[in-house]
Amino acid sequence: MKLLRYIYMFREFILLSFLFITLERLVNGRQLYSFLNPGYHIFVNLAMVTVFLLTASALFIAAGRDIKTEVSRDYFKYLVFLVLIGLLNIGPDSEAFNSHVAAGSNITPDASMNSFSSGSDIKPGPDADIYNTSGDFIEITKENYYFIVNDIYSAPEKYEGKRISVDGFVYKSKKLRNCDFIIARLIIYCCAADAGIGGFITDASGINEVFRKDEWLRVDGVLRLEERGGEKPAPVLKLESFKRIPADKEPYIYPVYN
């Protein structure tokens, strides 16, 4: 019982220490990429400083207490913190998260990319080569994904007939034809709570292959503009070749604002 009293005496210090260690693990284990846009990582680093200050203060508070007068009360408050720390330590499972967001999305061919449709908020950064779209072949990578996909949905006619290579996971919607799927990626503007789906409708009619939901592919195809029931023709990738690839460990696309 005495041990429990000591634990209760140091309760704030113990919980804040756990919280600090958890934040440190998330930051140094590069796990933040699974939860937050890198533009916001600075706030987690700053939170480590503030939580450290609070932890040190909690130690002084505990040191000033008398074990004889410390009586247990309001367990609930501390239990809430314990539950939180437990959940923070489960760690990311990007495959399950991809699948969850995709399953809950209501993508239709005409509106699948509406989150990109009006965007001109991204401009090429200093590494301008990866944003070059003047050739007949465009390789879409994680770095240029948001910029190029944005541009394709803003001015699709500029890209018609060009060959495009892109990685993503297979997302199947009931609103697509049987031979179609969307080669998708999750876009995270701030944190995983605002994750949405981005990608292209992919027409696999010429390929004799069954694609499983959520499997990761590198697809190569020619971009066409097709009537898919929307207000204007939708960009559709006519699949020419594909390769199964392992799931990306940092699979999300984070728009970077210049």
Give Dmax (Cα) for the chain: 80
Query: Is-contact 139 113, C-beta < 8 A?
Result: no
Judged by DSSP in three states, 26 sits in helix
Nearer to other proteins, 57 or 241 (CB): 57
Q: Which is nearer to other proteins, 62 or 130 (CB)?
A: 62
Nearest of 198, 239, 209, 208 to residue 222 by alpha carbon:
239
* 150 forms part of the interface with other proteins (CB under 8 A): no
Under 8 Å CB-to-CB from 10, ≥6 apart: which residues? 58, 59, 62
To other proteins, the closest distance from the beta carbon of 168 in angstroms equals 18
93 belongs to the binding site for other proteins (CB under 8 A): yes
Q: For 35-59, give the DSSP string.
A: TB-GGGHHHHHHHHHHHHHHHHHHH
Regarding 81 and contact with other proteins (CB under 8 A), the answer is: yes
Nearer to other proteins, 191 or 247 (CB): 191
Nearest residue (CB) to other proteins, 170 versus 204: 170
Binding string, residues 227-246; x marks residues near other proteins by CB under 8 A:
--------------------
Place of tokens 């018609």: 160
The SS3 call for residue 19 is helix
For residue 180, give Cα distances in angstroms to 81, 120, 195, 202, 217. Answer: 46, 28, 23, 6, 14
Beta strands, E only, the chain: 137-140, 163-171, 180-187, 196-203, 216-226, 234-244
As measured in angstroms, the least distance from the Cβ of 57 to other proteins is 4
Annotate each residue in 195-224 with x if it binds other proteins (CB under 8 A) or - if it does not, as one string. -x----------------------------
Among 9, 14, 58, 166, binds other proteins (CB under 8 A): 58
Query: Which of residues 158 and 244 has its CB atom nearest to other proteins in the complex?
Result: 158
Asked if 189 is part of the footprint of other proteins (rule: CB under 8 A), the reply reads: yes
**Distance (Å, whole) CA 241 – CA 199:** 17
- Give the position of tokens 């499983």: 212
Question: Between 9 and 38, how does the x/- string for binding to other proteins read (CB under 8 A)?
Answer: ---x--xx------x--x-----x-xxx--
- Residue from 237, 247, 248, 245 nearest 138 by CA: 237
Q: Report the residue from 47, 130, 222, 225 that binds other proteins according to the rule CB under 8 A.
A: 47
Give the footprint of other proteins on this chain (CB under 8 A): 12, 15-16, 23, 26, 32, 34-36, 40, 43-44, 46-47, 50-51, 53-54, 56-58, 60-61, 74, 76-78, 80-81, 83-84, 87-88, 90-93, 96-97, 100, 103-106, 111, 114-115, 117-121, 189-194, 196, 257
